[in-house]
Structure 1
Amino acid sequence: MTAPTPHPRAVLAAAIWRARREAHERTVDAWLTPHLQRRRTGRKHPVEDFLFTYYSHRPAQLRRWHPGAGVLLADATPDEFGRDYRAVAGGVELDTTAVLGRRAEAVSWIRALLAHTAARNAHFGCFGMHEWAMVYRQTPDEVRHNAWPLRLDPEQTARTVEQNRIRCSHFDAYRFFTAPARPLNLLSPTREAQLDNEQPGCLHANMDLYKWAYKLSPLVPSELVAEAFALAREIRTLDMRASPYDLSALGYPAVRVETPEGRAEYAAAQRDFAERAAPLRARLIEAIDRLPVTRPAPDRDSASAATAAVSR
């Protein structure tokens, strides 16, 4: 990572930052309330619950507002924002140096991944086969979301996987493939090679912008984390509509990727998500570049340690 260009500290008046905090909480509460209600009653939702169960960011953490690094909150106290804030003349600010003292290597790795991904050409030919590969040659009891039926019978599902080229570049999707499905993938992605494999057309790479945003919190504004969450939520919807599951009872019409028309529909939606993800990825890179960090991006030999720090 190159040395950042100094930026003047922004000052938010109390009325401004309190309004932003309240707006953020209202936005997030619209997502949290139904999820928490389902959790209390033991109900599960294969689409809406995913971002809360797969990712490690807890609902209370998503709801908590942070202004990001380099912002002075007028007339605030550290107790309102947590251990990483310090009192300064006129209010409080994030102790960026303290946060980076714990997380500089992870921040550098995240930036490297985001930049490597952004620099690659996008590919749109996977047609969502990763979800099919996750149920390939499984018994009904083994299927992950077995409370919901598959749209096709087991042999038709297997034939769909076998007749469509699987080219999954995303390790965190590939690792959930069934054992018989893994040899059918044209790639063998690993955690260590993540910097070399991620590409901006991948639904899961774009969904993971939410992960990288919250891993950067509180160094980035919570509004940016919420924007990444909102995009990931939409992507998850397409992911499951194109999956082998029949979720019509939940109001999700299938994108029938087993047909030419369905594959065209999927690729068009995938392109749209890639276009919408690009500016979010760029804003995360910009936010990192504004930090007082000069540590270089990790080389391949240190990639394992860095990825361990940011996994899930």
Structure 2
Amino acid sequence: MTVLSEDQWRARQAAHRDRVAEWTRPHRERQHEHRKHPVLDFLFTYYSFRPARLERWQPEVGVVLAGGAEFLDRRGFTSTPDGVMLDPAAFTDKRRSTAEFVLGLLSATAARRPRLGCFGLHEWAMVYRTQPGDVRHSGWPLRLGHAGTDEVVDSMQVSCTHYDAFRFFTPPARPLNTLQPERADQVRLEQPGCLHANMDLFKWSYKLDPFVPAELVADCFELAVRVRELDMRASPYDLRDLGYEPVPIETPEGRADYVRRQREFADEAAVLRQRLIDTCRDLLRWADAGFGAEPHSPTGPAVQ
């Protein structure tokens, strides 16, 4: 086991809070002023991890926090002779099932080659053949107008593999997709080039809260922010007033730019995906070892 002194873990805690405050503080300010943000709100509305939860720090399993009695006010922690640690008894059958699902999904995704030919058309398919005022971000204009947006969708192949993007397609857009994904197809279809699959690494990291270290959750969140920015820059919306220059996927140059960025994000996501895979495996081994509040043999397995 690893024991962190109070100075050590408080330094990590403060660094984590400062890091994520770059996004949580402006989000709270916008909420207070009733201002919507078509790019960044998604990270706190579609994803269900509240800003206060994102700011909350926790260590990896197998780490004991000396002087960490304040963590006992939170679920999932227990006392040991040396301090406070995550409690294997709180890793319930439901949590185990989640960890096993996440492990299976991410392992299957990691085993596939990235597909880089979607060009972000999912956002276009979400406004295809809608009426003005019916689009998701109605406060922002469409760069090409409604007719121009429809023409782009009609002229290109729509090939979305991600169910949680496909389910927001307009009814006329659904038959245009080369696949008709269902929730049950998720493990079979998700692939590492998909922007939404890479943003969802944030979701899978917090689904196991508090058993994933806060720094890994923040790494996944930070990637999701940057992927979301590309997602919306390549969308049909004109967001230049917010500082987002478009990636015009309706042009050959824009498509090439999108694919280049998509490939870069796939490479970054591969590293985080593997870290989450390793974390899930470690969690399952740790829970099976039954580490608890009582001292244990130093020869037993530990996660550091």
TM-score (normalizing by structure 2): 0.92
1:70 has 2:62 as partner: yes
* Post-superposition offset of 1:80: 5.4
For the residue of structure 1 that corresponds to 2:184, the secondary structure is coil
Letter in 1 for 2:19: T
- Retained in 1: the 8 A contact 2:125–2:173? yes
Tell me what 1:155 maps to. 147
Q: Distance in 2 between matches of 1:202 and 1:262?
A: 17
Tell me what 1:106 maps to. 98
Q: Distance in 2 between matches of 1:292 and 1:205?
A: 23
* Post-superposition offset of 1:32: 0.6
Q: Distance in 2 between matches of 1:267 and 1:241?
A: 13
Tell me what 1:218 maps to. 210
Tell me what 1:132 maps to. 124
Q: Distance in 2 between matches of 1:96 and 1:68?
A: 12
What whole-Å deviation, never above 9, does each CA across 1:89-141 have from its counterpart, x for those lacking one? 01001102322344111110011000000001110000000000000000011
1:237 has 2:237 as partner: no
What whole-Å deviation, never above 9, does each CA across 1:252-307 have from its counterpart, x for those lacking one? 11100000000000000000000000010000011111124599xxxxxxxxxxxx
For the residue of structure 2 that corresponds to 1:39, the secondary structure is helix
What whole-Å deviation, never above 9, does each CA across 1:35-86 have from its counterpart, x for those lacking one? 1000011000111211001111111111110102111111211545512111
Q: Distance in 2 between matches of 1:286 and 1:294?
A: 12
Aligned to 1:174, which of 156, 166, 169? 166
1:40 has 2:28 as partner: no
Equivalence map 1:48-63=2 (5 Å) = 48-63=40-55
Tell me what 2:293 maps to. none
- Retained in 1: the 8 A contact 2:3–2:82? no
1:279 has 2:236 as partner: no
For the residue of structure 2 that corresponds to 1:72, the secondary structure is strand
For the residue of structure 2 that corresponds to 1:220, the secondary structure is coil
Tell me what 2:136 maps to. 144
Q: CA RMSD in A?
A: 1.4
1:164 has 2:184 as partner: no
Pair 1:203–1:81, CA change in 2 (3 A): farther
Q: Identify unmatched segments of 5+ residues in structure 2.
A: 288-304
* Post-superposition offset of 1:14: 1.2
Q: Distance in 2 between matches of 1:101 and 1:77?
A: 26
Q: Distance in 2 between matches of 1:79 and 1:153?
A: 53
* Post-superposition offset of 1:30: 1.4
Letter in 2 for 1:204: H
% identity of equivalent residues:
53
Tell me what 1:206 maps to. 198
For the residue of structure 2 that corresponds to 1:216, the secondary structure is coil
Farther-moved stretch of structure 1 (71-80 vs 15-24): 71-80
Tell me what 1:310 maps to. none
Letter in 2 for 1:34: P
Tell me what 1:11 maps to. 3
Q: Distance in 2 between matches of 1:53 and 1:12?
A: 34
* Post-superposition offset of 1:29: 1.2
* Post-superposition offset of 1:218: 1.1
Tell me what 2:80 maps to. 88
Farther-moved stretch of structure 1 (177-186 vs 283-292): 283-292
For the residue of structure 1 that corresponds to 2:283, the secondary structure is coil
TM-score (normalizing by structure 1): 0.90
Q: Distance in 2 between matches of 1:254 and 1:74?
A: 50
Pair 1:133–1:207, CA change in 2 (3 A): same
Letter in 1 for 2:151: R
**Paired residue total:** 287
- Retained in 1: the 8 A contact 2:233–2:239? yes
Q: Identify unmatched segments of 5+ residues in structure 1.
A: 1-8, 296-312
